[in-house]
Structure 1
């Protein structure tokens, strides 16, 4: 038989092992006497005997109450009877005490429901809970001490190297493994912690997720420890994922959605002994504000007043109880009770993976196909797409540029057979946009180009949430400004309209026949299309103008490691991840005003660097404008938001991809500019006057076959060294020379 409902959760709240040992002592006494009313002194003797025997056998158990006795051997039966008042009171719903006769018994309503089998199940239940509880004691882990150490040491740790830091192990392994052993945490729950990915997070966290609701902290509801940015406190919260709602609806409506859901959950759940207000203070800006909006209820623990482990576990069990009630109610909620934003017939599907998890899936897919690319290339490619839907992949022939685009698209579910990946080889004789967009034949019929065909498919309502990739192979065999000019101009007309990114139309409607106008007349560049151009960097190709470079991230990978070999056996295919929704890649920002309030500090820091660089570039009239300033800021913000790499590593790539391609020439001014940029990339002063005569000592350190010296921006430093060498040896230099 199943335990009566009155008994099935009697150990849900526990601060000591006393309740389990009391029930076991009563069952043992009942089995010995077969009497319903049990002498309280006999039960107390069995209770005390359990702790004395356990201690004599070296087992870890709760100590006696402090201030009464140092060991259980010093404890007396009379003291034990006094001690039992607390667990008896906690179990008053099922137990009753006759103080006159000094007996204890299960209430008659419980006895009526318990047969011999039921008594055995109750004993098994108590033993299991007691065993799990004592296992926690054996671990020697203290949640109070660990939380205190984090709050007192995290800010100092942020000044130390991120990789392999001990705190990473504490958040990702130590605390999650401890929490998994708690009796109220079962196989339905996933526990993960984070101090950031590649760089320290301002607000580290530890989340407990019911896998039936959500397996990612980007959306859904979960329990989470959130640490304030200034480490003054840690909050135990019942909260919602913020990333997906804000992406899906935009910040204003996303906040509205979160606030509606908070109100709904507060009305649905008891939330006893929890704060239910908006006074949680994590930070003044950024993701912390999103967390604050999404919190349903919380308990705050101040750094110098963390309660003991018993209180912490009892609080967590209370929050988990509310979380469990919510999960159980999910199937009973009517559509009328869900927030209005969920009632739309057509909404973009939420990605079950976080950005970092999705990127790891992409890397794994590429590796399974037997291909190897430089470290952080996939993160860079992703951030470049997120910043602007136009990317240039540059390098010598045979480095796998086209294959990279195809594999990246395939890993996201965009393949040739479903028409979400299209390869368009560029021909040397292309001289105007008609080769891509299409033309009118002599009879006046519009003949669409390959790119137009893709845009028509991607613009269909049924495809609006699928990413489409167009790869222009060997893009610079023809002059890009001639055949690609219309697309370059259209990219710059992006604007927000009904929470979507739209552009001007590509094809003049007035020039089309009436029957062609419904298909091509309103055709624009939809926000689910991503353009990639592969270019070979040699003397057979055309250079790029600044108009092209301003509108793209130019990713170069010329440093080839021929020592990489195929694996003897490729890793077995993992379980296929669902195709990525377009929200994974689509830009969330178009103007700096979209992000200024939440990322003010990072924008100021990045802009200050660019102001210094512009002062250098002005000497050769290659300084950048607001378009590049904004694009670099967006790249840095996305990187910080998704925690993909360090701030220095991200800026290194932007210096390499947005600044250096603008530098070329044969004058001494170009050399001076390169040396000043090298000074910034190395992060140290150089004797520029001496190096103007001969810079060979400088660039010889960065020969591809040698170990380069340490630098703040090593990839940019390597490229600048190469450009300096070409200038001194050939009398001319350019980013595009291989």
Structure 2
């Protein structure tokens, strides 16, 4: 079978790869979904995924437009809406785009002829044309390693007799060669750090140029890396896969470090192919000192004599081989760490929550019933939670102990406490700033985000506790975080957000590589603790909409630590990030399979929203979705009764929005009290005097939603006593 005539010339004219990629995306989805009319959202996501896959595999790929980003890996679906229109229009002879329904399909003529063989031939055609396009686009290799290495070896001995500062050869090694290596297509620009050295203030005996994978190391003092090492007499240069020497030597002494490095080199040699490379220790750099350290620490190497340097093409091919081996080793290390993390059979969610409760109790702390279950469900629903209440009730301690119980501690840097200062006024106080020289000075939050984003850490939960969060105005210093929280979408199995730090806003290349397009990873959980008094600032609805607010105002002092000797020492069980990570981002993710439950929950919210409208405090879709997700997680994991769960959501998502002094506010609170009690009230009498509702606190034990009823009664009392009420008055 040959392709129908309309399809035979669709790739004849191409300036980009987008037409072929779009056809491949459509064919993928047709095969998976068995339908010919596809949502443009699905097509867009698959289109982007194919481009990202080529980029991550270091295959040739068209770079994204500058307005979208520097790399496809940081681009999100909504950013390519306009870009997608170009290939759709170019293929309008065979594709039909319905702008009203937002769907894409082949023409009726092609659909009538459709078959698996046609789809297979079209796929082969698209792949063939894509390969041809990239082959034509492939630029000639301009990086001349041979020329650069020759310059170093022919000039270094003489340069050492000349002043060190600003010497051209120093600039060549420190700056020019690293920049040129960075341009090679097999170098992962986001992960690889390239550094050259000719010494610190004085010429080094052995100059070097190192290539480091940031997920393994960012310094030549430890970890593994690739490095060009020049013999002291410049007779040869070695391209080596090496190990950091400085840290092991400091920790073990030179004899112990040498033994450790040799054993480690042998282990790595058994893991990697290292084809064409020497695996002995016959590197001749210097007779003693640091040169000897390099010799001992080398895993494998190529030797290039000054008078017999191979061609530039061969030098680049050798470097590609070492990079591929190095990348394979880094991936093996990350996989081993993951296996260690998951070596213990994971507990079920209910069992894990009970283990957390046990850990906290054995540490001598007691919290109200359902608080730990509630805290877990809040984090699972959205990774931003506010803990409110009077000072000394254990808000900060709860975050620390909860994190500790699942293996996130200060020692392993998975728990970070950031005290908020009253003078914080913009996001730079958290994220960082550029100093007068243009260098970026990261904030404490940014440092955590960078570490949590490393490939080897992406399956570990990271907790950030913003202590006394409202000492400064949250909307000022936290505004960027609040915004990106709402840009979450799935991308290659992970939840990504818009960048917090845009690459183009940074000056130096090093800052761009480390911090450029940094986003909020899906393994970071933000918890703010707040005290509501005259020294603090209230929260806006923008903040409240994005968080669950858990209150700590009801304190029972007659609680005592349990006997740890009888119970045994508290146990820490490290968990994977999947325990906490959100699984639902939009209601459409769960509606089909949970239609009845979602409608039932939404009906309750609709009724409550009708009450809130009287004072313009009603909620939107964001809160509706968050409440539904919270309720679904609770049903799925069977943590608390559904009525208890909805009571907590009414208390945490609805009541914090209520404040005021008018009769309308009082009428609304009374209507909410009817919902909380599950019975009608004498509204007219209570509008005059509602004291009967708050004089007997035990009356709420039989209420439909007892915790909400108790809080509403407290708010009514404040309104009648002070003429003003708010959820936040303690």
| Residue in 2 that maps onto 1:413 | 407
Deviation of 1:345 (Å): 6.2
Q: 1:713 aligns with which of 705, 709, 716?
A: 705
| Residue in 1 that maps onto 2:718 | 726
Deviation of 1:701 (Å): 1.9
CA contact (8 A) 1:370 1:570 kept: no
Q: Does 1:602 align with 2:594?
A: no
Cα distance between partner residues in 2 of 1:472 and 1:623: 28
Deviation of 1:570 (Å): 5.2
Cα distance between partner residues in 1 of 2:566 and 2:584: 38
Q: 1:473 aligns with which of 451, 467, 485?
A: 467
Cα distance between partner residues in 1 of 2:636 and 2:401: 25
Deviation digits for residues 104-125 of structure 1, max 9, x if unmatched? xxxxxxxxxxxxxxxxxxxxxx
Cα distance between partner residues in 2 of 1:684 and 1:709: 14
Deviation of 1:572 (Å): 3.4
Deviation of 1:573 (Å): 3.2
Deviation of 1:647 (Å): 0.7
CA contact (8 A) 1:681 1:716 kept: yes
Cα distance between partner residues in 1 of 2:519 and 2:403: 22
Cα distance between partner residues in 1 of 2:356 and 2:571: 11
| Residue in 2 that maps onto 1:572 | 567
User: How well do the aligned residues superpose, as a CA RMSD in angstroms?
Assistant: 1.6
Cα distance between partner residues in 1 of 2:695 and 2:382: 35
Counterparts in 2 of 1:514 and 1:569: CA distance versus 1, 3 Å:
closer
Deviation of 1:508 (Å): 2.1
Cα distance between partner residues in 2 of 1:502 and 1:481: 22
Q: Does 1:451 align with 2:451?
A: no
Cα distance between partner residues in 2 of 1:493 and 1:572: 45
Cα distance between partner residues in 1 of 2:351 and 2:701: 33
Cα distance between partner residues in 2 of 1:472 and 1:628: 23
| Residue in 2 that maps onto 1:591 | 586
Cα distance between partner residues in 2 of 1:424 and 1:345: 31
Query: Which stretches in structure 2 are left out of the alignment for 5+ residues?
Result: 1-333
Deviation digits for residues 477-532 of structure 1, max 9, x if unmatched? 00000000000001101001112100011012112122200110021000000000
Q: Residues 61-76 of structure 1 correspond to what in structure 2 (within 5 A)?
A: none
CA contact (8 A) 2:656 2:727 kept: yes
Query: Which stretches in structure 1 are left out of the alignment for 5+ residues?
Result: 1-343
Deviation of 1:598 (Å): 1.5
Q: Residues 299-698 of structure 1 correspond to what in structure 2 (within 5 A)?
A: 352-512=346-506, 513-569=508-564, 571-573=566-568, 576-698=571-693
Deviation of 1:571 (Å): 4.2
Cα distance between partner residues in 2 of 1:536 and 1:511: 36
CA contact (8 A) 1:385 1:530 kept: yes
Deviation digits for residues 384-418 of structure 1, max 9, x if unmatched? 00000000000001101000000000001000000
Deviation digits for residues 246-295 of structure 1, max 9, x if unmatched? xxxxxxxxxxxxxxxxxxxxxxxxxxxxxxxxxxxxxxxxxxxxxxxxxx
Deviation digits for residues 437-478 of structure 1, max 9, x if unmatched? 000000000000000000001000000000000000000000
Cα distance between partner residues in 1 of 2:435 and 2:728: 38
After TM superposition, the runs of 4+ consecutive aligned structure 1 residues lying more than 6 A away are: 344-349
Cα distance between partner residues in 2 of 1:508 and 1:499: 23
Cα distance between partner residues in 2 of 1:460 and 1:656: 37
Q: Residues 127-206 of structure 1 correspond to what in structure 2 (within 5 A)?
A: none
Structure 2-normalised TM-score?
Answer: 0.53
Partner SS, residue 595 of structure 1: helix
| Residue in 2 that maps onto 1:13 | none
CA contact (8 A) 1:401 1:534 kept: yes
Counterparts in 2 of 1:488 and 1:653: CA distance versus 1, 3 Å:
same
Structure 1-normalised TM-score?
Answer: 0.52
CA contact (8 A) 2:362 2:562 kept: no
Cα distance between partner residues in 2 of 1:441 and 1:503: 26
Q: Residues 78-97 of structure 1 correspond to what in structure 2 (within 5 A)?
A: none
Partner SS, residue 591 of structure 2: coil
CA contact (8 A) 2:700 2:709 kept: no
Cα distance between partner residues in 2 of 1:713 and 1:585: 27
| Residue in 2 that maps onto 1:735 | 727
Cα distance between partner residues in 2 of 1:693 and 1:674: 13
Deviation digits for residues 330-377 of structure 1, max 9, x if unmatched? xxxxxxxxxxxxxx9697865610001100110010011000000100
CA contact (8 A) 1:368 1:571 kept: no
Partner SS, residue 443 of structure 1: coil
Cα distance between partner residues in 2 of 1:487 and 1:722: 32
Cα distance between partner residues in 1 of 2:352 and 2:575: 8
Deviation of 1:589 (Å): 0.5
CA contact (8 A) 1:478 1:542 kept: yes
Cα distance between partner residues in 1 of 2:563 and 2:415: 30
Which structure's CA Rg is the greater one?
1
Deviation digits for residues 569-593 of structure 1, max 9, x if unmatched? 5543358353011000000000001
Partner SS, residue 567 of structure 2: coil
CA contact (8 A) 1:701 1:709 kept: no
Deviation of 1:565 (Å): 1.9
Counterparts in 2 of 1:721 and 1:411: CA distance versus 1, 3 Å:
same
Partner SS, residue 470 of structure 2: helix
